[in-house]
A = this chain, B = another copy of it.
Amino acid sequence: MQERLEQIKKQLQSQQLKLTPQREATLQILLENQEKHLSAEDIFMLVKQRNPDIGLATVYRTLELLHDLRIIEKLSFGDGVSRYEFRSDDHPHHHHHLICLKCGEVSEIEDLLDDLEMRVEREHKFKIVDHRVNLLGYCESCQQEMKLKNM
């Protein structure tokens, strides 16, 4: 965890950029919530708890910077806000998301598309570099709840 921070610090310094307290706090929140998909506002509120003097614009600028450096991903689930998460080199591609239409929970599943992508690249002559796959439906607990209530 901390070694990841050190690594990022070096990446920043190699381009005359600084790992300021605000940026470090933002990264810390992102590191502690790797499995979540936080919005800029979420991140802002969490960072503010530890560093009350930070401004929302700074969070946005930090997220933009980290995105440009390919350190984080910027996701859109179509609900009007962008969400951010750490980019792990294990998955050069996005994992897929299961989005529950009832409770709104977003969970991740493994990448299933490799075979299909090869087929698409061949058949459509389209060079794929990334994908966004969101499956919409009902999670297990909401399915049970709906069954009980006869919905």
Total copies of the chain = 2
| Interface check A125, CB cutoff 8 A | yes
A117-B129 contact given A75-B78, A76-B78, A124-B109, CB 8 Å threshold: no
Closest to A121 in B: B137
| Interface check A61, CB cutoff 8 A | no
Cα distance, A127 to B100, chains bound together (Å) = 9
Contact assessment for A140 and B125 in the assembled complex, using a CB-CB cutoff below 8 Å? yes
| Interface check A101, CB cutoff 8 A | yes
Interface residues on A, range: 35 or more
| Interface check A119, CB cutoff 8 A | yes
| Interface check A103, CB cutoff 8 A | no
Contact with B along A138-151 (1 / 0, CB 8 A): 11100100000000
Interface residues of A (CB under 8 A from B): 74-78, 82, 98, 100-101, 107, 109, 112-113, 116-117, 119-120, 124-140, 143
